[in-house]
Structure 1
Amino acid sequence: MAQDQAEEGRAPDVAALEEQLPSQAAAVHAVIRRSGEKELRREVMALLWSAIAGGITMSTSFLGRGVLMANLPQSDFGFLIDSAGYTLGFLFVIAAGQQLFTENTVTPVLPFMSNPTRKNLACLLRLWGVVLLGNTIGGAIAAAVFAWMPVFPGDVMQSFVNIGAHMLEKPWPQMLAGGVISGWLIATMVWAIHAEPRAKMLLVFLATYLIAIGEFPHVIVGTIEALFMLMLGQANLLDVVFGFWLPTLIGNVLGGTFIFALISHAQVRADVDAPRRKRA
């Protein structure tokens, strides 16, 4: 009953729902599910333009890390500092409310899990396809600017190349496994910022900084880095697609959807169903 009431009118916050639902997890689930339902109803062009903007904005992760790396000594300490630049794209995208593919591996999935119909599956796949396409287009625009326009000095360009080469040298099993971890961390971040919105930016920073220092690949940031290397002629298309993009994409989806979202949904279903079983 309380979960149904959450779907009417404005979305209530977690604190209000927590008094009506069995647990805080159930309240967070209800808020994220409603947000996901809104995303699934959005027009394709609105999603696409937001995703293109998100892809361009995500290039600030590449930019921030490259600029910091060029101005810091090559050391463990320097690595810990320049990794903070990686968080910029995520902070800006989420603060601006732009579409990011890996964020959508949990938010719109919960409505489908709550009501797994063919229509909801089609809406989910449409959303994923449009946002992934838009993020890639936006990322390609940013990569072209980085690669072909005389914007950055030589030391910064060399840092960009070093970042891209280091990312692409990993074997595909490592890409897949690391992608699972980064997908899990992004999904955890989405769940946490709905549970504690006052700490949103801190939670985004912590989750994405951990991705950076762990060197776990992210399909959108990594695509920008890979496209940059392709445009400079320092990477092979087949290696980019099959060595990086496909295993990282699969890993991100596995970590964000089939592990985190499924476990979280199962937990909430157990919370909601327990009182019903007792009454029966």
Structure 2
Amino acid sequence: MEQIPTRDVLDSLIEDGLHEINRERSGLLLSGFSAGLDIGFGPLLMAVVLTLSEGSFGDLTTELVVASMYAVGFMFVILGRSELFTEHTTLAVVPVLDRKASLGELTRLWGLVYLGNIGGGLVFTLLAVVLMPGLGVVSPEAFETIALKLVTHDLHWLFVAGVFAGWLMGLLAWLITAAQGTLARVVLIWIVTATIGLLHLPHSIAGNVEVLFGVFISPEITVLQYLAFLALSTAGNACGGAVFVGLLKYGHVVRGAN
């Protein structure tokens, strides 16, 4: 199958980014809230797998299955066309680089989508920690294990690893635009997001749910640790998506065209 020219991919990203930037405020907020809810199914399925596998990371089979479950939430969000902050760290930056949107418009989009994502994740987490242990499908210890995997690192690791997670998510936005067909997009989503899960990189939106699990379940995880995780992973994600994908991809395509 013939590949889409890179200039066409860039033009499509610009068009999509402008469409999202120009959406109504309430629509962006609700779409972001929906994405925050839907992405929670990934961390929840991770907890189910850990419960069934005696609640520990480290075994190769467990790690691979957990990473695949992590990808499920992203499939729900991306194929469902809900707004995810880490996609917009690349998608919405490109129109600004092309001087078709302003920094103020970018900030508005990021802020609304991010608030919706975090709010949706909070609601999902509350429902999960209240209802799921009672159904007997997941143990509280599994929720704690998932959260500790993200908050027991040095603070600088959260930012640097967050850059890699944002880089991968920005690359995913580019690849999905270049892909032809739903099956190709499903495979790409699984490869990229399962990689983030396998490496335990801090994704600010999925990680919001993962760490909140621990805040509500475990006395070992504090609100301060949660806030530090959220701030540093968000900054890292934004940097990775905007710089390593948005800026570099835009630069090489435009320079190549000239």
Same fold (TM over 0.5): yes
- Residue 164 of structure 1 is matched in structure 2 by 147
Structure 1 counterpart SS, 2:84: coil
Q: Does 1:206 align with 2:188?
A: no
Task: Give yes or no for contact 1:168–1:240 (8 Å, CA) kept in 2.
Answer: yes
Q: Can you list the C-alpha shifts for 1:164-211, whole angstroms capped at 9, x where unaligned?
A: 122111111111111111101111111011111321111000000110
Unaligned runs of 5+ in 1: 1-13, 19-23, 274-280
- Residue 72 of structure 1 is matched in structure 2 by 53
Distance (whole Å) between structure 2 residues aligned to residue 257 and residue 126 of structure 1: 16
Task: Give yes or no for contact 1:69–1:79 (8 Å, CA) kept in 2.
Answer: no
Task: Give yes or no for contact 2:167–2:237 (8 Å, CA) kept in 1.
Answer: yes
Distance (whole Å) between structure 2 residues aligned to residue 154 and residue 103 of structure 1: 31
5 Å-filtered alignment, 1:144-163, equals: 144-149=126-131, 151-153=134-136, 155-163=138-146
Distance (whole Å) between structure 2 residues aligned to residue 221 and residue 204 of structure 1: 14
Which deviates the most, 51-60 or 170-179?
170-179
| Number of equivalenced pairs | 250
- Residue 206 of structure 2 is matched in structure 1 by 221
Q: Does 1:133 align with 2:147?
A: no
CA offset at residue 232 of structure 1? 2.8
Structure 1 residues 64 and 36: alpha-carbon distance in aligned structure 2, compared to 1, 3 A threshold: same
- Residue 102 of structure 1 is matched in structure 2 by 86
- Residue 36 of structure 1 is matched in structure 2 by 17
Unaligned runs of 5+ in 2: none
CA offset at residue 231 of structure 1? 2.2
CA offset at residue 152 of structure 1? 4.1
Aligned partner of 2:244: which letter? I
Q: Can you list the C-alpha shifts for 1:30-77, whole angstroms capped at 9, x where unaligned?
A: 011100010000000000011101000010111111112212365222
- Residue 222 of structure 2 is matched in structure 1 by 236
Task: Give yes or no for contact 1:101–1:128 (8 Å, CA) kept in 2.
Answer: yes
Pick the structure with greater CA Rg: 1
- Residue 86 of structure 1 is matched in structure 2 by 70
Which deviates the most, 71-80 or 222-231?
71-80
Which deviates the most, 145-154 or 190-199?
145-154
- Residue 21 of structure 1 is matched in structure 2 by none
Distance (whole Å) between structure 2 residues aligned to residue 214 and residue 239 of structure 1: 20
Distance (whole Å) between structure 1 residues aligned to residue 213 and residue 42 of structure 2: 13
Distance (whole Å) between structure 1 residues aligned to residue 135 and residue 167 of structure 2: 34
Aligned-residue identity in percent: 27
What's the TM-score, normalizing by structure 2? 0.92
